[in-house]
């Protein structure tokens, strides 16, 4: 009996000693002083803020002195701004599938738009970013534009509802997520600055609204712009119609900025700003012909700003070439979630945050097949250093228009008046493209001087073709077979 009591006393003493030794340490399953079931206290919160059709042209931090984006400019001042960040397809749904899967759309069945009669959908076998984070103990929530399918592949624990054009309202609806006891992943997706409906060209001389309303939006300060003051990108025609539409586009971007600012204010109020990584990107370039749906630079080269509070160096501009296919592994890396690197086509670029060093990020690839189902025009791209190769696989086809771009007064003002040029390019060259386009972006940032048929660039052309073939093999691209298939009429024995 004495032995039993003695053993109990020893056990009690050891237990009290162990507890007292840990009074200044939180258990590993505690975040912000509250218990969670799966995660470590070191797991950061992550906000991925995705705009819709926002190009590099319309942000103060990227050199536009006209547009008012103070909150996004502040993010750039406090974080890392990437100047060579690329989506893989300048089409909303196709791009978003890559963002959330870490794989190119040609390998996942996400060839184009998911909604209505388009019906492109990701294979059930794909495991997406929100699912992986949820398994690791994260609260996953989304608000705004979704535009991927099926839901069981891109499943979020929480779905919040708000007007996707009113980013201030969207921010307010995220209050419960910001209060989460668990680390959270918030996928915040606006409809701005996408063009507004309807997409019809009847009143072709009227600028599209880009979601702007005369009566404005609740709690949003309407910021308007004079068409005479806007900056017309070099690839667009400098016309009255273009300027009027850009002014509307700017207004929509300024609405994004206010909602972003509201979300950051709420984050600070919760005391979570010191443990939250914030990423701002767009799905593709501005909704103007020559950008959206194109693999030329205005379509795929996009804003990317990352603030990681654990990185002490701020106000950094990085020239590392990063891609939206890299985002899923990067976010998993930031979240300290173990993952199989071989499961993704992209690579984590976490190491580039807070430094001007490019590391191994000197090459990107792009892959576009459809926008709407009526817009079949497969293109594959490699950019290696300052050289860029575009392979227009179905080059015999006329380049197709997205509904909203065709209806734009910017395009219709050229089309209906039979103008020979659209910006610096001939309309004929805009509509009918060569099989290969090779550019030296250092000398030719507007991609006007095609080097593909010049003898002195033959070796460079062949080298980049081989890189494309290797890329297609590694990423299981069905369109690789087209290298051995002559799509021209001459190949069928027809003389042109």
Cα separation, 88 vs 102, in Å, equals 11
Residue entry with tokens 């273009």: 242
- The crossing angle, in degrees rounded to 10, of helices 70-78 and 240-269 is 60
316 pairs with which residues across the strands? 80
User: Sign of the C-alpha dihedral, residues 410, 416, 419, 420?
Assistant: positive
DSSP strand E in 113-176: where? 139-144, 158-160
- Catalytic site residue from 14, 21, 92, 174: 92
Cα separation, 129 vs 100, in Å, equals 5
Cα separation, 173 vs 176, in Å, equals 7
Cα separation, 363 vs 384, in Å, equals 5
User: Sign of the C-alpha dihedral, residues 313, 318, 323, 326?
Assistant: negative
Burial 287-318 (b: 16+ CB within 10 A, else e): bbbbbbbbbbbbbbbbbbbbbbbebeeeebeb
Q: Interior CA angle at 227 toward 223 and 231, to 5°?
A: 95
CA atoms within 13 A on the CB side of 109: 14
Q: Is 92 a catalytic residue?
A: yes
Q: Which DSSP state fits 34? A: E
Cα separation, 430 vs 153, in Å, equals 37
Task: Give catalytic residue positions.
Answer: 92
């Amino acid at each position: 009996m004495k032995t039993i009591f003695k053993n109990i006393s020893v056990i009690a003493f050891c237990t009290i000693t162990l507890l007292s030794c840990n009074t200044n340490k939180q258990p590993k399953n505690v975040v912000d002083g509250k218990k969670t079931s799966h995660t470590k206290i070191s797991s950061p919160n992550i906000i991925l803020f995705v705009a819709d059709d926002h190009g590099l042209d319309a942000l103060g931090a990227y050199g536009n002195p006209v547009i008012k984006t103070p909150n996004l400019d502040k993010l750039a001042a406090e974080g890392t701004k990437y100047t060579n960040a690329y989506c893989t397809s300048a089409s909303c749904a196709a791009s978003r599938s890559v963002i959330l899967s870490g794989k190119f759309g040609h390998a996942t069945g996400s060839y184009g738009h998911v909604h209505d009669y388009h019906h492109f959908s990701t294979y059930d076998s794909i495991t997406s970013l929100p699912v992986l984070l949820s398994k690791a103990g994260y609260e996953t929530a989304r608000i705004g534009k979704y535009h991927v399918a099926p839901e069981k592949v891109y499943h979020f624990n929480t779905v919040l509802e708000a007007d996707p054009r009113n980013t201030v309202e969207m921010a307010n609806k995220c209050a419960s997520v910001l209060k989460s006891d668990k680390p959270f992943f918030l996928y915040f997706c606006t409809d701005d600055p996408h063009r507004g409906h309807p997409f019809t060209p009847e009143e072709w001389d009227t600028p599209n609204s880009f979601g702007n309303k005369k009566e404005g939006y609740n709690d949003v300060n309407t910021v308007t712009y004079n068409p005479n003051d806007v900056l017309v990108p070099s690839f667009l025609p400098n016309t009255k119609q273009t300027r009027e539409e850009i002014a509307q586009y700017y207004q929509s971007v300024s609405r994004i900025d206010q909602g972003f600012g509201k979300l950051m204010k709420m984050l600070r109020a919760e005391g979570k700003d010191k443990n939250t990584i914030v990423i701002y990107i767009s799905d593709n370039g501005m909704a103007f012909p020559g950008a959206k749906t194109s693999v030329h630079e205005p379509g795929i080269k996009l804003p990317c700003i990352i603030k990681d509070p654990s990185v002490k160096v701020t106000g950094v501009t990085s020239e590392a070439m990063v891609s939206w296919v890299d985002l899923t592994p990067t976010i998993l890396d930031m979240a300290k979630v173990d993952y199989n690197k071989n499961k993704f086509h992209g690579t984590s670029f976490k190491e580039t945050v807070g430094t001007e060093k490019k590391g191994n990020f000197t090459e990107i690839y792009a892959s576009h097949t459809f926008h709407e189902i009526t817009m079949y025009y497969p293109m594959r791209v490699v950019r290696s250093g300052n050289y860029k190769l575009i392979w227009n696989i179905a080059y015999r086809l006329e380049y197709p228009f997205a509904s909203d771009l065709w209806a734009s007064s910017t395009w219709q003002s050229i089309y209906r008046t039979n103008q020979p040029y659209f910006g610096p390019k001939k309309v004929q060259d805009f509509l009918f493209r060569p099989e290969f386009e090779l550019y030296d972006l250092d000398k030719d940032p507007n991609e006007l001087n095609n080097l593909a048929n010049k003898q002195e660039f033959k070796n460079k052309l062949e080298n980049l073709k081989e890189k494309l073939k290797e890329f297609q093999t590694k990423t299981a691209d069905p369109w690789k077979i087209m290298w051995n298939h002559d799509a021209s009429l001459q190949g069928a024995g027809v003389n042109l």
